[in-house]
Structure 1
Amino acid sequence: MTKYGLRARVFTLTLAPTLIIGLLLSAFFTMSRYRDLEHQLISTGASIIEPLAISTEYGMADQNREAVRRLISYAHRKHSQIIRSIAVFNTHNELFVTSNFHRNFEALMYPDDQPIPLLLETRLNKNSLILRAPILKEGQFSNPSFPGYQAQALGYIALELDLSALRLQQYQEVFTALMVLLLGLTLSSLFAYRLMKDVTRPISHMVSVVDRIRRGHLDVRIEGHLLGELDTLKNGINAMAISLSEYHIEMQQSIDQATSDLRETLEQLEIQNVELDIAKKRAQEAARVKSEFLANMSHELRTPLNGVIGFTRQMLKTRLSSSQQDYLQTIEKSANNLLTIINDILDFSKLEAGKLLLENIPFDFTDSLDEVMKLLAPSAHEKGLELTLKVDNRIPTGMIGDPLRIQQVLTNLIGNAVKFTERGNIDVSVELKTDRDESLELQFMVRDTGIGISERQQAQLFQAFSQADASISRRYGGTGLGLVITQKLVSQMGGEISLTSRLHQGSTFWFSLQLHKTDLPVSQPIHTHGLQNKKLLLIEPNMQAASVLQQRMIHAGLQVTYRSTLPEEAEKHDFTLLNLSPGEQPPLGELLDRVFKAEQLSDKVIVSLPTTELALSDRLLSAGVAACLPKPLGHRKLLETLSSEPEQLLEPEPLPEPRIAPAIQPLTVMAVDDNPANLKLISALLSERVETVITATGGRKAVEYAQQKQFDLIFMDIQMPEMDGVTACQAIHDTHLNHTTPVIAVTAHAMAGERERLIEAGMDDYLTKPIEEHILQQILAKWTDPNKSLSPAIALLPNATESQASESVAQQKAVSWDWDLALKQAAGKEDLAKDMLQMLLDFMPEVELLVNEALDGKTIDLWPPIHKLHGSCAYSGVPRLKSLCHTIETELKAGASTEDIEPELFELIDEMENVVKASKAYKN
């Protein structure tokens, strides 16, 4: 009723039955009459041909043509209105006589390969009906009832009837049926019109009156006398209008009363508003406290960060020595496990607290994007993914904005694409949307061919501490803050971010930014005059990567010829750019053969290798390759390589100058920390400055050492199991040998008032993590020789740098124990890798015992042993055990009970057994 009006429905329901029944009856009777006329014609033809067949028997038997002709000519004349031709054929299927000439006697004849049938046969053509009847010889002494009797055919007679009159009569019958049907429809239409006049018009009037009542005209009524139920409906509408009018009066009275009541409750509402305002201020204060807490560096985050930054600096001061390899292992462990989480949490806390400030500086736009691609290329290439960058040629080189935050947004989006993509491409593109004077609007797009995101999961994607699915968190890891930070950064830079995705078909994240152009020099210009109209042969198996490179080279002025594989023969080129796809690992001989063929086609061959295959560079350079570049190819690096001379490409980079080490002081120092990585770091830093360093793994052990030996200085961690740093400091000051020994607090708590609290509790000084080397040197100088000036070598110490490392292959595979990973973490030192593994195996029984006791219902604090096990796992090539420890430690810090994490604890026990079995299998 909502789509079609009452008038249309009445008209349709009235005519539809008449039309359907009329069509069915007309079709039925027309078809019946059609068939009856055909059967009538066949019967007429049979009544003509069968007597002729009998009467021509004697003429055929005597071969009397004249007698037969007279018979058939008489029959033809008698029925000339329907007969076209009559022909008689003998037993040899030859024409005997005919009533008139026929153009095609073959249409009347039986086929020569068939015998003459003994029964009447009919055949209906388009415009004629052909009947054939046999002429049978009925002998005087023949007995048809005798068994085996068979009449002899003397020939047959063929009769062709004209169907024109029949068709005309059939068409007349169809026309008559249609006329009857139209007459029925006309009568039904008249009745329908009358019905609509008597029903729909009054109803339309009622609708108009009801609409006026709805708009507030409660005094209108429906007048006049109507038929049947319509009159009842009219009375009901009028009664409804009267009731509404009465209700309106009552409602007005109620409103007046309610208004009076509301005025009386204003004081109560004001009191409630005050209470709500107080509650709002409390909520804002709670949010401020939370943001301030997150913005401050917590102990759990700064402690591992201490190892990351410290060992990075140690590596920068050495030249591939054994200690450098040892530090590299610790750097990789700390960076993989903590750096991404720390950066996410700190950025999120700053954004929540409104303390994140954006820069507005000139920068090279293309070089900035190339840095991001270079950083993320290893993790993409390890999975066999092709990484491409396409920048609109209309975008200028110099821009004004915050390059660090733009890189952070792109790093987050591309990193997610790499994480959730197993095969295919990750394509990054930047397009110019609008150009307004000095301002540009750019659109960044990151497309992948990964697992995709369902519509239900997309709604939760930009929420803090959440991911698309719980199983994703267990498989791929992450804090769930990346996209939230990305969204907030883009919003703070004046842009917007969104995505389009389909499950199992990949995702496309895009965001737009407003940046300003600048004419200031932001980088050295790229001179491409020597490349104009030079010919370059581009060999790239991946179509998308080839398209990006081809457009970039054409824009630089080169004439590019693209091939997916190296052609056998081609014209001479100035350059050949030979690209290998990630995941493609051709034998060295085959690769050298490709290089040899490329050298035949051009004067200068450049090979682009995935970052996982850069070890082939030396071998290819020795084979005559002009240069080996990592994928994806940076714009500046590629053009400079094409423009430079071969001898410039082969010139080795200068080695870094050795740094001046600080002087060793004749001191005995004790370092106390429960974290092995931090203890190892502070001991390494102190070993470069003092003669003797004693390490203690806890407060109780430090007190025992202090009772046995005198120290010049003690560096004490604060948060330790069994005995914390403050209690240990007080116990050490109570000993006879170290009553006056300075105790330096080393802590990750960097909140305001922490220094004063620790010094008041008995500490002599305060050192924050991560440890700054120049501050450590100042502490040593302050408490060993206050008048001694700082060594000039301190000024040469490297500044703090942040290291970012991608997840290892073993972590992606989530194996129990990977010797290659352990060896890599030990920088190729087998003895060190075995020692770290043995330390882990020795500690696991203690953890297993505590976990079993906790599962049995005993009250045990599992966080300290799990925290220590987590730190040990990062050194021994056990990614799955490390991931489990991280999950359990996180849940324990969040206040989870043993029952809440019971499945993870059972899984932890099983995984420790798997590690033991895997290590034993390797040793055997």
Structure 2
Amino acid sequence: MKNWGIQSRILLITLLPLITISCVLGGYFIKVRLNDLDTLVEQRGLATIRQLAPACEYGLITNNTQVLQKVANSTLNELDVRAAKIYNKYQQQLVHSGPNMHNVERDSELPHEVTIYRYGDTIRLITPIFAQNLPNLQKVEATLNPTLGEELFSEKIGWAELELSLTNTELKKYQALLTSCLLLFSGVLVCAVITIRFSREITTPLIKLTHAVESIKQGNLDVRVNSESGGELRILESGVNSMASSLKTAYDEMQQSIDQATEDYRQTLEQIEIQNVELNLTRREALKASQIKSEFLANMSHEIRTPLNGIIGFTNLILKTQLTARQLDYTSTIKKSSEGLLAIINDVLDFSKIEAGKLVLDKTPMNLRDLIEEILTMMAPAGQDKSLELVSLVYSDVPSDLIGDPLRIKQIITNLVNNAIKFTNKGSVIVRTMLEEQKQNTVTLKISVTDTGIGMTDDQQQELFRAFTQADTSTTRQYGGTGLGLVISKKLVEQMSGDIGIESTLNQGSTFWFTIKVQTEDDASTIYEMNRLMKKKALIFDTHPTARLALSHAMQQWEMEVDEVDDLEILEELAFQANNNQAPFDVVVLGIGKDQLENKQIMDSIRRIQEHLNLKTIVLINTTEQQAVQRFQLLNVTCLTKPIISTKLHAALINGIFEKNTPLLPQKSEPTYNELSHPGKVSILAVDDNEANLKLIKTLLTDMGHTVYEAKNGAEAVEQVQINTPDLVFMDIQMPVMDGVEATKTIRSLDERKYLQIPIIALTAHALSGEKETLIKAGLNDYMTKPVSEDQLIATINKWANIESNNTTSNTSPGAQEERALVEKPFTPPELDETLVSVDIQECIKLAAGKEDLARDMLGMLIESFPRDIPPITEAFENDQNNDLLNTVHKVHGGTRYTGVPKLRSICHAFETAIKENNGKAQLEVFYRKLIEEVESVKLWTENNDWLD
């Protein structure tokens, strides 16, 4: 219907209502006519039978059948009468006229009133006959026989029955139906003809208009319409003609404009070609300039880092000597200034890497909580010198074990925290970490750094995240800096598919936030073997609400029950009240700020809690307040430094609640490599063209007790290697005569195999991206960036000095070399303590966090595992399958760690160590026999003791 034309629609609109009305009215009148015909037949039959009844009265009274027959025969002359019957009062048929009547279903008794029956194409009428219509006869009969007359005229004297044929009526019905249909069809046909005639006056102009519009659409703008119609169609024709005229005018103007634009475009293309040539030349110059810049950065890195290496190195050496207070101050200033200059250089080089698109992010396992705590611990002295509270708040839904680039994440957070400390004179710096979104193994984290510093205006915020800019010039002069920190952070965050922003109010502080997307580690292991702190009660005191919240949050993650207070009197009240209610606290943790250390009330509160409640106390003090440790030692108090480190706090809580050992001292920094044992005295070749650097390295190595050879260029290095065959080579890269890469290739190409085994470590000031990969491919084994610290030297020597392998070229991984060195290392079997018992019940309970039922279950589970785990050990040992043997012994060893079987645990540890050291079968058999014997001893103990029952 949607595709119908206008004429079809006009016909539909006109004829559909007409046909509908005609059909409805025609049907109605035909039905009325047919009903009238049926009614007429019935009325004719009733009139006939009413005439027949009186005519039959005399014959019925006199029982004259001849009269009745004549009456019946005369009835057949009536229209549509087919047959007639007359019955006496006894319902006996007296006469019948016409053909046999059709059988109809009626009662056996004749009706007492006029009744009509229908059967097929006939109508049956029956009526009773009374003598009441013959009054004269009634008088005569009554005179002759009074009794008979009374009886006769009080009852029916008979019945008359007629059968009428409906054939004529049906014929009349068909005639009426045919006539009506013909009239209806004729009327509709006449209307259709009239409609078509008049519709053409509408459709013809419209068709012309349609053709005209189609021609205009195809581009024939000269077409015009003239259908000589009137009304709205005339207006439409005028509109179409006007539109065609306007389009013609517009087309002509457009064509002129196109011609002009084409000419202009041609001229522009000629100019663009000229500009392209100029741009191509400019691009080549830019690429050349970029290459020159990269070379300049590399040279700058080398030229600046090389003297910095000597300055920082010799400054560290001077600081180890006896100095006056002024000399110490001056030397420390030199060291800080040198380190500041090194930080600026690192920022510039990082910015250059990012701008060049050569910064590649690592994907290594990391613990974000530990990372942030490490940053805050490192920044703590700077913040605590200004009496700032540094707090890390990691929400519980943040996954601990992630996969990302910890170095770059640490760089971002360190930058933001350093800025917060720099621009904050009082208050706090809070690092919050929350989970924004998690989809399968990808999580989006939001980390914010909030300070209470000077804040910024909206205009100053607009200037952030731009290279070499800060909030304003005065701030730059006051606080210094390159203005690259936030730019580098922004670029790093964007590389991690995140975003970075700031919310700040002048004189009220700032919040820098950023989001990153990292992967979760599928097989992440838990930090602690078991949650021994579950349900333990802790009482926390700290006047700083956020620090108190962070501490409480961390302890609640270990499922401890925590109460917080910010008042010492309330602290004591709660502690004594809990003790009186038989629900004492297990530990008290006090966060003490710098201004509270001289508060006598704190010391008195700790002393009362210790003396009266015997309650373990842990004190958190600033890193810079180490002199306060002795005071708390006198009170048998464990001291930890702020900001808190979760692992150390957990260990202190375990020690305080369960071990009851000597109190812990504040954590010292990690031991330096000077405090570690060296792998032995080795011979080392130091190669550097800078005399200061060479002297520094030689001094450091000589102080460690190593034999040091010197070379000032690559050619001398090759000679020294051939003459002295050192155990290790520290090779500078950029040198005259022969650089470090060429020298390394020359050494590797020497005929003898021993020169392939010498570890060569790159010692370079170059710090651009891809440098390490290039050097490793060139044949060097490792990479160190100047300036080099003493700790780095010791770590590198520890890593490479004792390695002996068949190939130390770039194709040999350090891990593989260490493994081979471990194999060749002579084995010293660990001694077994024969005094250890098979089962220690107290140790079982202790390892089960004091729960005896759990201890029984864990020991029972270990014993039940023996039939499953011991046979594989026997099979692997007998078949010399050391890998399978290591796995099965390790499995049993792991089970012994959670229950009190000290002797079996010791044997498993020794057995596992011997397998890892690739000991011979004869030595392994000793541990195997002891393991089997001790398993039987544990079984025998359980059989002879009812503790497990």
Structure with max Cα Rg? 2
Q: Which fold has the larger relative contact order, with Cα–Cα distance below 8 Å and residues 6 or more apart in sequence?
A: 1
TM category (shorter chain) comes to 0.3 to 0.5
What TM-score do the two structures reach when normalised by structure 2?
0.44
TM-score by length of 1: 0.45
